[in-house]
Amino acid sequence: MIYLDYAATTPLRSEALEAMLPYLREDFGNPDSLHMLGRRAALALQDARDTIAAILGVKSAEVYFTAGGTEADNWAVRCTKAAERGIVVSAIEHHAVLEAAQLASREGRTVRYLPVGREGAVSPDALAEINGDAGLVGVMAVNNETGVMQPVAQLAAAAHARGALFFSDCVQAACSCELKPLAAVCDLLSLSAHKVGGPKGVGVLVIKKGVRMSPLIAGGEQERGLRGGTVNVAGAVGFAKALLHAVREREDFVRHTQAMRARFEARVVEKLGDAVTVDGGRRAPNISHLTFAGGGPALLGRMDLKGLACSAGAACAAHSTLPSHVMTAMGRTEDEARAGLRFSFGLQTTETEALAAAEIVVGSYRNYIGGNR
């Protein structure tokens, strides 16, 4: 199997697993317990929090552990007090943000959506109409389907100039973007461990000092009284270790994945010509979104049978038959928005795999178009 679905999830790093094991075995205590095992767990949790804070350039007290990026996104959108004045998010956000905004709308908050251009980017000018009537603006750093990178610094400045807080889902940015500059301009920022070689089931929401929040999950005084539930100590430790390695490897990751994607895309375009479109403008180096003329969901299954793992848009919406909301927001027709596939690369991807994957894509598409749909 050739794995080109690293934007969906990544293999657990051996360093993260080794760091986690003691807190799954001998040091398994609840970090809120007052005995020795509890204190050991609490110290490990604080060390993980300090590590992530240092990577992001924020205070440790601003790092809150969650059960993943989806929870962090929901917490930011639904529970930020400033959002009671109104919420503005881009039309291409992850479903975690969009559906949280829909829930907020049903709870009585005003929600508006920022458009994107055909290349998939939000223009800071789109915020011009906000005039004190929105308290929270949310735009992701890197789109999870197309890899398009958003002008976060400019968008944050525009939001702040109009009296709104700025939130960014940085889940897909963690391997390819410098995180300190992103964290510096955001009031809230979400990350997920399993996108950087950490374990599934743990994430972070950065909440800057002075941002007023209410809990999303009640039932305990954990995370400074803002998130009920026993914190996943082993997961937090694994996340910190994985993020530390991802940041150290960032330059290699960017260089390698960009090269693998270039080889893959060049081979597919060479063989298929105008039948394939490379989507998006300024993109993160590891994500390729291709639209196939006359393509459809069955194309993904054909590639899977040939030994290629990729995604039809976001993995979280892979079972949906609806057209991609990202591609329709970028001006594509519904048929075009159903005809796209995402291929995402990692440091483990070899040139042999990239070129073999391209041949699988070409062969699968030709067979599909040949009438055996």
Catalytic residues: 316
Handedness of CA 183, 188, 189, 193 (dihedral sign): positive
d(CA 162, CA 132): 6
Length of the chain counted residue by residue: 373
Beta-carbon-side half-sphere exposure of residue 201 (alpha carbons within 13 Å) = 10
d(CA 250, CA 226): 32
Q: Provide CB contacts within 8 A for 37, sequence distance 6+.
A: 27, 28, 29, 30
DSSP for 175-207 reads: TTS-HHHHHHH-SEEEEEGGGTT--TT-EEEEE
**Largest Cα–Cα separation, the chain:** 68
Residues 55/244, Cβ–Cβ less than 8 Å: yes
DSSP for 279-346 reads: --SSB-TTEEEEEETT--THHHHHHHHTTEE-BSS-GGGTT--SPPHHHHHTT--HHHHTSEEEEE--
The DSSP bridge partners found for residue 298 are: none
d(CA 344, CA 338): 18
Q: Provide CB contacts within 8 A for 298, sequence distance 6+.
A: 368, 373
The 10 Å CB-count burial string (b at 16+, else e) for 86-113 is bbbbbbbbbbbbbebbeebeeeebebbb
